[in-house]
Structure formats: structure tokens, C-alpha cells
A and B are shown apart, each in its own frame.
Chain A
Amino acid sequence: GIQVEQSPPDLILQEGANSTLRCNFSDSVNNLQWFHQNPWGQLINLFYIPSGTKQNGRLSATTVATERYSLLYISSSQTTDSGVYFCARSPDTGFQKLVFGTGTRLLVSP
């Protein structure tokens, strides 16, 4: 099946710093999403980003489907950004069966 690799696996930042998280795919992907899992385990959808760039506040995401990768940018990080970030893809047709990446664990210290 399609492999979804994320890097780095762990990241420690000082509050206010910027960061880039990466998601690589073993095959082409058309339906790519980014999620944040907070320290209490709640998963929240951040972006649906099959291609191009989207921005939401301090977060933005870019997917280059032809090169099989997606990037999540976090600017001016805050302690509330801590948690695990997952990218996930779903099939081109049919229902949305998510295949999750390995995750990047982010800790933002004050």
C-alpha cells in the first residue's frame, strides 16, 4: 500500500520560532489532509490540501502532488501548538478511508 512518511519525528521549539514539517508519499496522492492531535489526544483537522497552498492564521500548508510531498508551516509558534501533527491521505474515489503518516511530535517551550 501507499507509504506515508513524516519528518522530523520529533521537534522542540522555543516559543516564537518557525518550523516546517514534511510529509512524503510513496505514490501520487490527490486527497491530502493535515491534522493536529493535542496533548489530550483530540484530533483536529487543519487543512484539506490536495494541491497548492492554503493559509489559516499562523499555519499554512503546501502540497506538490507531482513530487509526492506536502509541507506544513508553523510561524511564531505558541505553547498551544504542542502535540502531534499527522498528514493523511484518502483514495481518489470512494469513501474517505484515511491512511495516516507516522506523525511529528512537536513541543513548544515557553
Chain B
Amino acid sequence: GAGVSQSPSNKVTEKGKDVELRCDPISGHTALYWYRQSLGQGLEFLIYFQGNSAPDKSGLPSDRFSAERTGGSVSTLTIQRTQQEDSAVYLCASSLAGGPSETQYFGPGTRLLVL
């Protein structure tokens, strides 16, 4: 597609359930990023992919969070045993190769609410 797409747009789940969030980057972009936007923490980095590898997972808040990328394209962020503090907007971005001066293109986000 023309831009970064994310699904679902909104997700409501019960505490303790697992959720999967999907990101489709711009075709040809090797770099893919996940960020989280919450009221208390602002916009924070979660994980970076270069191709299918994740050289930096330092932003993942706990071992309940994991992510993978397959075929150098689609990425899935999985949150296991969700907690109420996981409620946030999860944003995905992609850039051509991950260089420091490149433009990151953001998707519309997935709004997650954990009840």
C-alpha cells in the first residue's frame, strides 16, 4: 500500500488475555519501529527491526511483550497476559534503511484498552 497500515484500529480486551497487533510497513522499507503512546509516559520507543532481525529490544517494558517480523515485511507485536497499564496507542513506523536522517512514516496506530 501507499502508507503504513496497522490492524486492528481498536482493541478492547480483558485483563489476562493475549493480544496481537499487526503492522504492514511501506513496501521496500527495511527498518520498522514500534512505539507506544500513553497518557503517563508520552511517546516511547519499544523495538526496532532491520529486516527480520531485532537489534534493539530495549524499549519492551516486560517479558510479556514480544515482536517478530517475517519476510522483511509484516510485523506482529504480541502482549501476553495483558494488564490495565498496557492500555495505550501502539504506533508502528517504517523507514527506508534506518539511517539517522531518514523520515519515519507512521501508521494510524492501534488503540488498546485493557479492562
A97 touches B48 (CB 8 A): yes
B109 within 8 A of A: yes
B50 touches A43 (CB 8 A): no
Q: Which of A41, A91, A98 contacts B104 (CB 8 A)?
A: A98
Which residues of chain B from 24 to 56 have any CB-CB distance to chain A below 8 Å in the complex?
31, 33, 35, 42-45, 48, 50, 55-56
Bitwise interface map of B from 88 to 101 toward A, beta carbon under 8 Å scored 1, else 0: 01010101001111
Interface size on B, residues (CB 8 A): 26
Instruction: Evaluate whether A96 and B31 lie within 8 angstroms (CB atoms) in the complex, with A31-B100, A90-B100, A91-B100 already known.
Output: yes
**In the bound complex, CA of A109 to CA of B42 (Å):** 25
CB distance from B33 to the nearest CB of A (A): 8
Q: Chain B residues with Cβ under 8 A from A96's Cβ?
A: 31, 33, 95, 98-102, 104
Residues on B close to A: CB < 8 A? 31, 33, 35, 42-45, 48, 50, 55-56, 89, 91, 93, 95, 98-106, 108-109
Residues on A close to B: CB < 8 A? 30-31, 40-45, 48, 50, 86, 88, 90-100, 102-103
